[in-house]
Each structure stands twice: as C-alpha cells, then as structure tokens.
Structure 1
Amino acid sequence: MTIKKEPIHTGEFLLSEGAGNISRETINIAAGPALNAGQVLGLVTATGEFAPYAPAAEDGTQTAVAILYGPLGESDIVRRGRAVVRMAEVSEVHLTGLDPEAEKDLATHFLIVR
C-alpha cells in the first residue's frame, strides 16, 4: 500500500496573527526550487528578494526575517508570494529551516515561535 503524506497547507503554521492583514506582505522571492508554506526566509541584500534562510550564507539570507505563507512552485525567474513578516505566533513543528538562531532573528520582528 502506498502512503501519501499531505504537504503543509497555506498558513497552517499560524497560531495567531495581527488584526486584518498587518502580519503579511506581498514579496518577491528569488528564482529557485519549490518552497513549502512555513519556509523560513532571509532577505538577499543585493537584490531585495527573499530566499530560503541559510545560516552559513553571507548574502543577507543568514538572518531570518519572514515565513512563507503559501507554497510556491519551482521557477527560474523571480516569483511573487505572500509572507508573514511581523506580529504573529507560529507553530515550530510546521516551519522549514528553523534553527535556534533563526528563532531569535524572527523574534526581533515579533514573529514568536511556540
């Protein structure tokens, strides 16, 4: 029997967020592989595009600043997406790429990991 695992749904990682749309922004995400909702993101300093958090990088993505709200497909061009960038509580088990340093970085944006 084949067992299928359902991917994380859009916004499933959110426990609570600010009223209205204060917690989310539309962002540009660098070209690259498919990303799941809940991917921790950093900001590429040179381009202003978001990319997956990479603690060993030296391009700005070594600092976690946002969490991808919904999944994105693979692309060789810049993609538009939504991210939670401030004032929210999120579920640790539903995040991709989270480490203790990223958790501290996110807290500076009032993104609290529970």
Structure 2
Amino acid sequence: MTSISEGSNLGDLLKYEVSSLYSRDQITVAKGQNLKLGTVVGCDKDSMIKIINPTATDGTQTAIGVITSNVNATENTKAVIITRIAMLADHAVVWPANITEEQKAAAIKQLEGRGIIIRKGV
C-alpha cells in the first residue's frame, strides 16, 4: 500500500481572518531566507522580511507576521504575510530552532498586539 504525505497548507495554519485584503500584506523576503509556511517573521531596517531573531537589533527581533507559503529566496522575493486580525493554529506556526520559551512568549505578545492570535487545538 502506498502512503501519500501532504505537506502543510494555508488551511492548516490560518483558522480565521477578517478579510485577506485586510489581514495580509505583500512583502519582500530577503535573499538567502528559506521560510516555511507559518514561519514567524520580522522586518529589518531595509524593509526586508526575515525569520524572527529575538537577539537581533536590526528590527527582526520584533514579530510582525507569519508567512503564508514556503519561500526559498535565492534573491529578494515577493511574498505574502498575515500581518493583522487573524487566528492561527499553534501546531502550524514555525519558530526558529534556537528560540527560548520566554522569547516565544514575547513574540506571541507582539503578534497579539497586531490582532494575530495563536490558538492551541484549532
């Protein structure tokens, strides 16, 4: 018997949004970033999107949203993030491997300030 494995999709991550025209923004992912659907992102001083880095001082220490698709940016690449008024499933949110629970809690608070709620069990 052959098993088919399907990767995560936006429906696994996004459980509610006011309107895609309101909740999402088009952004530019910085060259060299390999972001998976659901990755929490920040914006550097050059307005480039990168994975959140809680110890950075270039702006990427602040969570501003979550990427809506897999993006492997071999050059600066246009993409879309969920940036306001949405509910996300915690199991589909992607965090940096080295993030601490304290840093994750701070990032969740930053997202909540934008109206992005991360829920367990949805």
Q: Percentage identity across aligned positions?
A: 25
Partner of 1:10: 10
Partner of 2:94: 96
Query: Over the residues paired in the alignment, what is the CA RMSD in angstroms?
Result: 1.8
**d(CA) in 2 for partners of 1:4 and 1:53?**
32
Gaps of 5+ in 1: none
Gaps of 5+ in 2: 97-103
**Contact residue 30 and residue 73 of structure 2 kept, 8 A:** no
Partner of 1:25: 25
User: Would you say 1:84 and 2:82 are equivalent positions?
Assistant: yes
**d(CA) in 1 for partners of 2:14 and 2:54?**
23
User: Which structure has more helix as a fraction of its residues?
Assistant: 2
**d(CA) in 2 for partners of 1:21 and 1:113?**
20
How many residue pairs align between the two structures?
Answer: 110
**Contact residue 64 and residue 106 of structure 1 kept, 8 A:** yes
- TM score, norm. by length of structure 2: 0.82
- TM score, norm. by length of structure 1: 0.87
